[in-house]
Copies of this chain bind each other. A is one copy, B any other.
């Protein structure tokens, strides 16, 4: 296992940070490393908002469901899927541009995620810690307003970056045999059951025997209600009409 793979496998989300600030030149370098990720047809359908204004950091921390580290981390980035830049660039060359296709939503969302993951890896390679903040999709319109996001741009997730003030345990993942399948999709219930045992032990050990949970049970709040039911209308409103 080389040092990079070791780094990737040592990822854990960091939610407590020291007061040390990331030098601006390093932050730029992390984003440049992000931009080096593959991008669909070179479209680079993303923008990153570096939220520096403390009042906005505080507001986003609350909008994301009360996640204090959004305000406390050295830096907070909002990764946006951006179809405005490329479609307008294309229009300026005289093209008749089609917008709002489902495919464009996928391209921009995936481009943004690949880019962000490179930023995360680059940050961790510098001893920084990160935490993705999907919670900005709790109130995506309010976040968009704060950041003056125009049409054809939507906030996919945020990311806290800073110097870690904690070393949480690495959370186990599903057995590789569950997720890697040979030639055809096959059933993975047995591996899921084994993973539930793993997670059950993991939670018990870390709670002094008090937490009686496993992976499958933990998924309930994600699926037993309509999670973020506003997302469809929000995306349509932003110009991602899923045509």
Contact = CB atoms under 8 A, between A and B. Distances in A.
A4 B231 contact: no
A166 interface: no
Interface stretch (A15-23, A66-74, A95-103, A204-212): A95-103
Contacts of A114: 113-114, 116-117
Contact of A85 (B32, B126, B178, B229): B178
Contact of A181 (B47, B56, B87, B89): B47
A52 to B, nearest CB: 6
A157 B219 contact: no
Query: What is the copy number of this chain in the assembly?
Result: 2
Contact of A98 (B117, B170, B225): B225
A6 B10 CA distance: 19
B109 A110 contact: yes
Given A121-B8, A235-B102, A148 B48 contact: no
Interface string A177-196: 01111111100110010001
B96 A224 contact: yes
B98 A224 contact: yes
A36 interface: yes
Q: Of residues A28, A89, A120, A196, which shows the largest number of chain B Cβ atoms within 10 Å of its Cβ? A: A89
Contact of A217 (B37, B93, B125, B228): B93
